Amino acid sequence: MPFDYDLFVIGTGPGGSATAKQAVFYGKRIAIAEQETIGGTCINRGCIPKKFIVYAADFALQNQVASNYGWDNVGGTFDWSRLIKAVQKQVEQRNNSYKQQFQKAGIELLRGRATFIDPHTVVVDERKVTAESIVIAVGGHPNKPNLPGIEYAITSREMFQLQQLPKRLAIVGGGYIGVEFSSMMNAFGVEVTMMDNDELILSGFDDDIRSSVQTGLIERGIKFLAETTAKEIKKTSQGLQLVLSGEVNSAINVDTILFATGRSPNTKDLCLENAGVEISETGAVVVDKYSRTTQANIFAVGDCTSRIPLTPVARSEGKAVANTIFGEAPTKLDYNYVTSAVFSRPEAATVGMSETKAREKFGDAIQIHRTEFEPLFESMTARNDQVMMKIVTDSKSRILGAHMVGENAADIIQSLAVAIKKGITKQDLDATIGIHPTTGEEFLLIED
């Protein structure tokens, strides 16, 4: 019996949308299912709304130093609920734009939760559909640990729906999401206490990024509790009490508690067992290098595979999978030199190997080129903001990794990444004439 569709995609986030849109080029019959708002985590409760809030927070930080640049009476009051309404409007516009793009491309959108009946059959809101190939792109959700009073805590999801700014905020978890929220909320005047199991925040990043961002956050007034985590939450007449364990063994009183303690794949209710699709112990869909699951006609992309949980990665995996299914040859991604950023203030960005990773692989043959300086903008202020740039090279001077903390780090590293991926050496950077005066030019001027 012929299938209803050539391709059925579950999830309209960056991974699912990219898969469906790429399959359109092959003239296929495509449907995509979505149980929530169109566009997934990124546009609804991740990258996009977050970046708008980062922009809003930057006004507060600029206002603090505007008088050094001759401005008087800047500042005024900030209306959180007005910002959130404006952000929500932007999100809705993007939801609609996604819908229109699907319509225009002839991709059928099915609203509701998809679950598997067998390897070729899925049910969405009581409608049974069959497809030759199926792509799982269901993303993930924030973790909340099982501790007493956890029902009083929120996750990143609810941060975007806060009715008002808290006066005192505790953030459990110093990964990039916790760090970004700590930075934004601090800029808005919220009293922020952040904690991490580790001595340093941003586990997985180069140690110089970890310590420079941590120092920058502390200098801005964020209280950081190292090697500390949450044990219990109690509701009190004044708000919430967070009982701590670890290095700091006491309790703090706050209004809101954000758990930014990682994310897990949305695979629990998919009935994957009906389709013969295996998941790992952590719930991630098991895939090979072509994103093929343990069932030959079913693929999985994006956060639900727990590879690199970032939008551009999900998007690229989606495109590659569509090419694998319908193109001439299977396509796989090169996960080396994936760039990533932390949109805190100070901002951080990275590409390639950290010093620790490079040392593990190449031992003492690697070389470190590092600089730290006060950026031009800050020299007119009383702030002590520093820029940190670091290049890790192998014995032949080929760049293995580049890491930066400071203004425009994400944009600078993004541009540098293309050249680094192409295999440039430190001498190639030295031989490039930069744009003056910029922060980025300093990457070309780091001494050996």
Ligand X SMILES: Cc1cc2nc3c(=O)[nH]c(=O)nc-3n(C[C@H](O)[C@H](O)[C@H](O)COP(=O)(O)OP(=O)(O)OC[C@H]3O[C@@H](n4cnc5c(N)ncnc54)[C@H](O)[C@@H]3O)c2cc1C
Residues near ligand X (CB under 6 A): 10-16, 33-36, 40-42, 46-47, 50, 113-114, 137-140, 156, 177, 266, 270, 302-303, 309-312, 314
Tokens in use for 194? 């952040």
Min dist. Cβ of residue 330 to ligand X (A)? 20
Strand 191-195 to 168-172 pairing: parallel
Min dist. Cβ of residue 45 to ligand X (A)? 6
Min dist. Cβ of residue 53 to ligand X (A)? 10
Residue 436 annotated to the active site: yes
Q: Round to the nearest angstrom and report the end-to-end CA distance of the chain.
A: 67
Q: Where are the alpha helices (DSSP H) in 147-223?
A: 156-159, 176-187, 207-219
**Whole-number Å distance between alpha carbons of 175 and 352:** 18
Min dist. Cβ of residue 263 to ligand X (A)? 7
Specify whether the CB–CB gap between 423 and 395 falls below 8 A: no
**Whole-number Å distance between alpha carbons of 385 and 345:** 10
Closest CA to 42 of 184, 137, 183, 144: 137
CB nearer to ligand X: pick between 32 and 388? 32
CB nearer to ligand X: pick between 256 and 393? 256
Q: Where are the alpha helices (DSSP H) in 239-373?
A: 311-326, 355-362
> Scanning the structure block, which residue is given the tokens 């670091």?
390
* 8-state DSSP, 144: -
Min dist. Cβ of residue 238 to ligand X (A)? 28
CB nearer to ligand X: pick between 241 and 340? 340
Burial (CB < 10 A; 0-12, 13-18, 19+), residue 195, is buried
CB count, 10 Å around CB of 256? 22
* 8-state DSSP, 258: E
Min dist. Cβ of residue 303 to ligand X (A)? 4
> Scanning the structure block, which residue is given the tokens 């990275």?
350
Q: CA–CA distance from 139 to each of 223, 258, 323 (Å)?
A: 32, 21, 21
Question: From the centroid of its chain, how far is CA 425?
Answer: 29
Min dist. Cβ of residue 241 to ligand X (A)? 26
Question: From the centroid of its chain, how far is CA 4?
Answer: 35
- Give catalytic residue positions: 436
